[in-house]
Structure 1
């Protein structure tokens, strides 16, 4: 195992000037730090709380990875446990990441929030930092934004019009069924978080209603292997975003729902409905105790199953091309069909006491004063590099490939961003710090 060079930094005293500042101490930002240290580039990582805190703070108790453990790779470090095809739990991921941090010494400044990024008067950038009520500034030539893909939880505008007797929360606040008020639960959203939280509540014996969107699904295991292992062999996680079949529309729909719980299995919403879970289409409005849904349930279920079977066909074609010895192919056949698409739910009559919003996140880069964003507030970047000299991003979904934003693709993305920064820093004649330890 390679260990990155150590760059010492006093965590109690943020510098006033430094060549590179990384904002965000999650696995993405720390991966860039690892590579910059390995290249001898002086830098600092500024984290508002503690390194990688979100893994412990924003995942529910029964959370598991949905990608196999062998996908877990970070700079100089990879999963080497006894279950490479299994799925680590939340606590196991936290421990694994703690083990990675023991292999190097990132120059971290913790419990410090960057509240403003602006162009400096003499070039470069000026950051405004806040820590324990104290405001300081830091000047730098390069900034890497590693604050996560989209940090602001989405809640619909009509949420405030729903009966106040109903407890509302976002998926990142959910921990377990026992912490919720007694009664039925409505989960809104069928991406990975929504589908798995609905399953968690269902397995705990809670009465569950689920409003589903257009998220697709995928087989957990197919023809003797994990489907994601097949997809990795097929190179789909390495295809650059601009070359991905189907373009942006396909990329927006790659949050396939599946689970790694209990060794991994499909998430079959039709099977849940057969066992008593209430399914609905897209939630469009709510007032008091009445919610209204678009009549999209049947179409959404059919579309998710079509993607499931399409992926199976792609794997079949790969097996045929390569001559891999594998069990025979199969297709999913629906185990339940709705009699009609429900368009209304009376929360009081159904005994619903909790709504969990699992409809995603939105970007919030208002603190960045730079022309690097599109009309939707998303960074305009290529492999993390923007047209604004010195401004880069890391850890975004589809930043470069499908693997970006996941453990599988972070190392490669971080290495590229670090290479660009190292070249630009050297080109400016800025200071490079030599590696001082391994």
Structure 2
């Protein structure tokens, strides 16, 4: 569904302008409509395009379906503990889009947002100019793919893709494939290639991992019972530092399982440490493989140990647990790999994205380009963010927690509108 039924006028003034037509922007629209607040959602591409255009063919959720809880539209299928595949996710989103029926302008890029002296926001877009009393930025934080400069030195015969452009193993040329990075995308893409029988060279980063199932249940179910997903960022041990964390790698593929890079290595995948450089026809890697694998396993075991403690504290009858023991260890740290001798025909960069809010003219950003806010409310009057990782809780950037954040922001919008109306009435009197 790329054309919402409720189209908006091309220009004008709105009480609220929402920038971004993903699940965050649509969730804000849902609550704005409930509150009777006029608004416009502006989307640079097409509604929920990221799920449609930036996911590989075998993509599936890594959290169980029951956590799909968009506002007024919870998962209604018959497999709550399963993991929706790409086409099922799109169908779920299409249903949500139809329900919200947001006032939407697609293919509309925001070029500049600036608050005027009178407090009204002036918005310049490729489809006209608008004004709004308040603005919600719901465009996410993953805008510009990160590709290192060493990529420029690779020969033209090497096909290079960023993770968002990867689709399937068959679309790549014959030969080995190097995957750089082991966050959720890197680990799952490496698995996808490995299962297809491709030779994979994997540059392992510092991402942690977790178990899929432990002591008879999905780890997500245990953590939900432990109220981990309700923990606000200010109560997390890392505080706002948790926003910089890489997501744990695990998969929902084929009903869900662990991703164990050691097991892949035992089956023939070549693992290296962090990719540092390309010189004299050789890749150079940092000697970090053993440490990165050990750190990922430590996190895996630490999460399981917290579940053990919860089970013991509450006297829950559950199957026995245990500690993960490595099934493979690197005999030595290999720090170089000859490009020509490796047979590498393609490289997939899975090292993340950087935010780009250059169009937003507001003094709310830190040195790394991230906005300062408290639960999405910025220090600038009438400016909000929603849909960012750990905006408030673990689920803030996911289907599971966006409803709570969107409702909170709309409540703040409504209160701000009341304050302004009261002030205007007092001045008029």
**TM-score over 0.5 for the alignment?**
yes
The aligned residue for residue 129 of structure 1 is 125
Matched, 1:357 2:353: no
2:179 aligned counterpart, secondary structure = strand
Contact 2:183 2:246 in 1 (8 A): no
Q: Distance in 1 between matches of 2:215 and 2:99?
A: 38
CA distance in 2, matches of 1:30, 1:22: 9
Superposed CA deviations along residues 226-256 of structure 1, whole A, max 9, x for unmatched, are: 0011111111111111210233455533500
Aligned length: 419
Q: Which stretch has the larger CA shift, 119-128 or 151-160? A: 119-128
Matched residue SS, 1:286: strand
Determine the C-alpha separation between the residues in 2 that align with 1:245 and 1:229. 21
Partner of 1:282: 274
> Deviations for 1:275-295, whole angstroms, at most 9, x for unmatched residues?
000001111112464211110
Deviations 1:345-367 (Å, cap 9, x if unpaired)? 11211100111000011011111
Q: Cα offset for 1:426?
A: 2.1
Residues 160 and 348, structure 2, Cα contact 8 Å, conserved in 1: yes
- Please say which of residues 253-262 and 116-125 is displaced more in the overlay: 116-125
Q: Deviations over 1:5-32 (max 9, x none)?
A: xxx9972632311110000000001100
Q: Is 2:146–2:352's contact at 8 Å kept on the other side of the alignment?
A: yes
For the pair 1:55 / 2:51, whether they are aligned, the reply is yes
**Runs of 4 or more off by more than 6 Å in structure 1?**
none
TM-score relative to the length of structure 2: 0.95
Q: 2:133 is matched with which residue: 141, 144, 167?
A: 141
- Measure the CA separation in 2 of the matches of 1:277 and 1:196: 13
Q: Deviations over 1:364-419 (max 9, x none)?
A: 11111100101111010111110011110010001011111011110000000010
Equivalent residues of 1:163, 1:288 under 8 A apart: no
The corresponding residue for 1:175 is 167
What residue is the counterpart of 1:195 in the other structure?
Answer: 187
Check 1:144–1:249 CA distance in 2 against 1; reply closer, same or farther (3 A cut): closer
Structure 2, unmatched stretches of 5+, are 423-429
Q: Distance in 1 between matches of 2:243 and 2:377?
A: 20
Q: Which of 81, 84, 90 is residue 85 of structure 1 equivalent to?
A: 81
How far did 1:142 drift? 0.6
1:75 aligns with 2:109: no
SS of 2:395's partner is coil
Written as runs of structure 1 = structure 2, the 5 A alignment for 1:20-419 is 20-131=16-127, 136-287=128-279, 289-419=281-411
- Name the CA shift for 1:250/1:10 in 2 (closer, same or farther; >3 Å): closer
Q: Do the aligned partners of residues 251 and 312 (structure 1) sit closer, same or farther apart at CA in structure 2, a change above 3 Å counting?
A: farther
Report the alpha carbon displacement of residue 156 of structure 1 after superposing the two structures with TM: 1.0
For 1:289 and 1:96, how far apart are their aligned partners in 2? 47
CA contact (8 A) 2:233 2:242 kept: no
Q: 1:64 Cα shift?
A: 0.6
